[in-house]
A and B are shown apart, each in its own frame.
Chain A
Amino acid sequence: MAIRSESLPILSSEDVVTVRRRVRAMAIEQGLKLIDQTKIITATSELARNTFVFGGGGTVLLEALESGGRYGVRLTFEDRGPGIADLTLAMKDGYTTGGGLGLGLSGAKRLSNEFEIDSRLGEGTRVTITRWR
């Protein structure tokens, strides 16, 4: 299903910029419309920053998808940070532990077609999002 994939580190705020740029390139290659490109790039920005700020750094796997004539981009953000104690609370609009707007995680979900989050205390967090053409 994945035609191409690449893994990138997220260890600094410069890496967040790099990841955004790579996702933009992949979204364009996959033929996503400008508005869908913007949505997945913005979601990327939120999740990559979370990985760096809250997860203490991690990686992202970029996958170009093809499924029965549909094209899309799937991103998997992974860190080995402290994990999220209360996922329901973390997904709530306006809830933040880092002084931000508290919209990153819930916003990223709204900007994606598919959203999956898996977090274990003390082990880390994995977020997967997909945007189809």
Chain B
Amino acid sequence: MADQERILPELLSKHQTQILESWSAEQLRNRRPGKAGISEEDLRGQCRDFLNALQEASQDDPSDDLQSPIWERARDILTDISREQSKHGASPSDIATFVFSLKQILFQLLQTEIGKRPEVFAREIWTTTLILDRLGLFTTQVALKIREEVIARQQSEMLELSTPVVKLWDGVLALPLIGTLDSERTQVVMESLLEEIVRTGAGIAIIDITGVPTVDTLVAQHLLKTVAAARLMGAECIISGIRPQIAATIVHLGVDLGDVSTKATLADAFAIALRRNNLVVTRTTPAARRQSAE
């Protein structure tokens, strides 16, 4: 490649202003109406930064190996641009189009410059296409990575969200479980319940599984372990929220809940907890209320 003229970098530096103008104009035209998008000024800045990086990289390395360190700056700038644009609601294909829309402009310039030399023209078209295609694909990779980061963040947020241990009464804790109980989450849930039992000195903990869609042997095993651990610490567990279909399934699975107390609803479990603490709930009459107010 060394003896070949490098048309693209030369072209990029010679017509810099013109390319920048038509490319940003194209971007602005392509902007979807109704979306806030990034400001015209920022867009122009992004275009300029990217063109500079592209010019430098293609100057130093006429090959199309984007993985080489020469392309690092171009990759970094493109990563920043992708992040910025996706923050403003651009889809992965919008961002790839950002790169691809450069093709027409460059092809037209190549045509004007070297159109009379078909062999050189064909070669340059090919190189340019290759580079821009790879850069366009690179932006989709970045977009995917951004998505994955969001998903990972949401997962860890959910892990924290879903494990509140609430105090229902003095000595009575409740753990309303919601969603899928897979090992990692169950571990967190179990630990936070045990910690609360120690902290509050509660004698009764109600584990409510109304919000757990599937109770299989793994979930049952986790529940049994939690109950056993709580018992070792001197607290009694009641499992509530066992719906009819879950009850039937547990029986078919052959899971033996042994001497664990279970109840259909959280309210039933709470009533038991109050009774064990020798507490009664009574309905007051207006007369009694007046009397106690006096």
**Footprint of B on A, CB under 8 Å?**
13, 16-17, 20, 24, 34-35, 37-39, 41-42, 45-46, 49, 93, 100-101, 103-104, 106-107, 110-111
Contact = CB atoms under 8 A, between A and B. Distances in A.
Given A35-B245, A38-B248, A111-B249, A103 B183 contact: no
B180 A17 contact: yes
A115 to B, nearest CB: 12
B182 A103 contact: no
Interface string B239-275: 0000011101100111100000000000000000000
A45 B245 contact: no
B217 A107 contact: yes
Contacts of B16: none
Given A41-B213, A93-B254, A104-B217, 8 more contacts: A17-B182, A35-B244, A37-B245, A42-B215, A42-B249, A45-B218, A49-B218, A111-B252
Interface string B182-224: 1100000000000000000000000000000111111011000
A76 to B, nearest CB: 19
Contacts of B214: 20, 38, 41-42, 45
Contacts of A93: 254
B161 to A, nearest CB: 17
A27 to B, nearest CB: 12
Contact of B253 (A17, A20, A49, A107): A107
Q: Is the interface of A mostly helix, strand, loop or mixed?
A: helix
B216 A46 contact: yes
Q: Which 8 A-B pairs have the closest CB atoms?
A: A107-B253, A38-B245, A45-B216, A35-B245, A110-B252, A101-B217, A103-B254, A103-B217
A101 B216 CA distance: 10
A100 B218 contact: yes
B248 A103 contact: no
Contact of B249 (A39, A100, A101, A106): A39
A22 to B, nearest CB: 13
Contacts of B220: 101
Contact of B248 (A24, A39, A46, A49): A39
A24 to B, nearest CB: 8
Nearest to B246: A38
Contacts of B252: 39, 107, 110-111
A46 B182 CA distance: 12
Nearest to B182: A13
Contacts of B216: 42, 45-46, 49, 104, 107
Contacts of B218: 45, 49, 100
Nearest to A38: B245
A46 B254 contact: no
B254 A106 contact: yes
B217 A35 contact: no
A16 B182 CA distance: 10
Nearest to B183: A13
A55 to B, nearest CB: 16
Nearest to B215: A42
Given A38-B214, A42-B216, A45-B216, A101 B255 contact: yes
